[in-house]
A and B are shown apart, each in its own frame.
Chain A
Amino acid sequence: MAGTAVQRRLSWRLGEVVGLVEETPRVRTLVVTVPGWPGHRAGQHVDVRLTAEDGYQTQHSYSISSPPEDGQRVSLTVERLDDGEVSPYLVDEVRVGDRLELRGPIGGYFVWEAETTDPLQLVAGGSGVCPLMAMLRHRAAAPSRVPTRLLYSSRSLEDLIYRAELDGLAAADGGPEVTYTLTRERPPGWTGFARRIDRQMLAEAAWPPERRPLVFVCGPTSFVESAADHLVALGHEAARIKTERFGPTGG
């Protein structure tokens, strides 16, 4: 678990929202240009700080979904949590032209670099796909042809984030293999997986441990706990499984 020291002061920067993408009924991507952005690696996150007129401030962390290749344009994909404080503002209130205070990038462990040659296995639950999307976009932009699989669990087809883009990446020459599982609602004629991720599904749809993939798992806590336990039981090395949890922590 060795890492490289990143001892650099993180200061707040004022970005401008230049684009909004309605990804699903509950999820929106904010494209923010951040002057002086020092660059990031695929998988890192930022802290967003909101300030009310009376000076009250609150902060929340969001994964960056854009690749390093986008330079000073940083995309944050945010799911609205109805009891949250930051996410309803970002999903429902923010308009193009608004400014947003953020600082980062933060985190250096849950990152993937396109120079890596090991097969890549991504396992996403819900909006946990966001940092993994940064990795897939980084892979496409580099470009890297590292054998890559994404197993993505979603409640329904309509809740799949980046579906058109993922399908496009998967169809491209040398693109990743993308497998969806829909846990609650399926469209008529759906022939794909239709249950929560389990050991059998990981055995069928993920790289086998013999391929020694680097594994990134991101989603809600229970999803990550379960998927990581199954991967270890299947024979994947614990040290090659990196996890990030989107707990029910408000926001």
Chain B
Amino acid sequence: MSFISRGFRGRPRRSDEGDRLPPGQYLVSGFPVLSAGPTPRTPLGEWTFSIAGEVDRPRRWTWDEFRSLPTETVTKDIHCVTKWSKFDTVWKGVSVDVLLDGVETAAGYAMAFSDGGYTTNLPLEDVTGGKAWVAFEYDSQPLEPEHGGPARLLVPHLYFWKSAKWVRGLRLMSEDAPGFWEMYGYHMYGDPWQEQRYSGD
């Protein structure tokens, strides 16, 4: 540590945060919002969720079909690249494993796509094996539009920009490609524990 900020002491260190708070993050109790444009509002009657791209055959669910799929309730810590983390957030959603069940693909990557044009890229192995959900409830309430409702991707082990709000599907890809923020210099993978905020981190 060569550089010290003169006169900076910082908050009292909290030992209970230690092993749950990734480097460079601080804990919040609220739920901040970050998005690049107006909040889209798609009527549920027009909402669908699609599995597209390099698959044996594309799949698509209407809202009612999607809501008839088996659900899980999970409690997760979430970490935003803008430095806030929030512990023990409770979500209800459909596991991506359920959505990909029976899909035949040689793809290694997925591009999540959303209303409003947002996209974000993820390795397929990071959204399968019980690691990702399409969530439609937060804290036992329908997910609010500003937090990504009616449904958002939830991939809590990566920085939260990977948990695409207003998600409408996954496009499977054989090669990785940058999504929206990734094109603007954010990290292709985004592991908070490795502090992979920006390209090259």
Contacts and interface: CB of A to CB of B under 8 A. Distances in A.
25 contacts: A1-B119, A3-B183, A5-B178, A10-B198, A50-B10, A51-B3, A51-B8, A52-B10, A59-B83, A61-B82, A61-B83, A93-B7, A98-B7, A99-B3, A99-B6, A109-B36, A109-B180, A225-B39, A228-B39, A238-B37, A238-B40, A244-B36, A245-B34, A249-B82, A250-B84
Interface stretch (B23-31, B59-67, B94-102): B23-31
A85 B180 contact: no
A9 B24 contact: no
A6 interface: yes
B32 A221 contact: yes
A56 interface: yes
B40 A225 contact: no
Interface in A1-36: 1-10, 14
Contacts of A228: 37-39
Given A3-B184, A85-B10, A229 B5 contact: no
Interface stretch (A100-108, A157-165, A176-184, A186-194): A100-108
Contacts, number: 140
Contacts of A249: 28, 30, 32, 82-84
B70 interface: no
In the complex, the 4 A-B pairs of residues with the closest C-beta atoms, listed nearest first:
A9-B200, A247-B32, A228-B38, A108-B184
Contact of A221 (B28, B82, B146): B146
Main secondary structure on B side of the interface with A = loop
Interface of A: 1-10, 14, 47, 50-53, 55-61, 85, 89, 93-94, 98-101, 106-110, 221, 225, 228-229, 231-232, 238-239, 241-245, 247-251
A9 to B, nearest CB: 3
Contacts of A50: 5, 8, 10
Chain A CB within 10 Å — which of B32, B38, B178, B200 has the most? B38
Contact of B184 (A47, A100, A107, A238): A107
B178 A98 contact: no
Given A225-B33, A245-B34, A249-B83, 13 more contacts: A51-B3, A51-B4, A52-B8, A55-B1, A58-B24, A85-B11, A101-B5, A108-B184, A109-B184, A228-B38, A243-B38, A248-B32, A250-B84
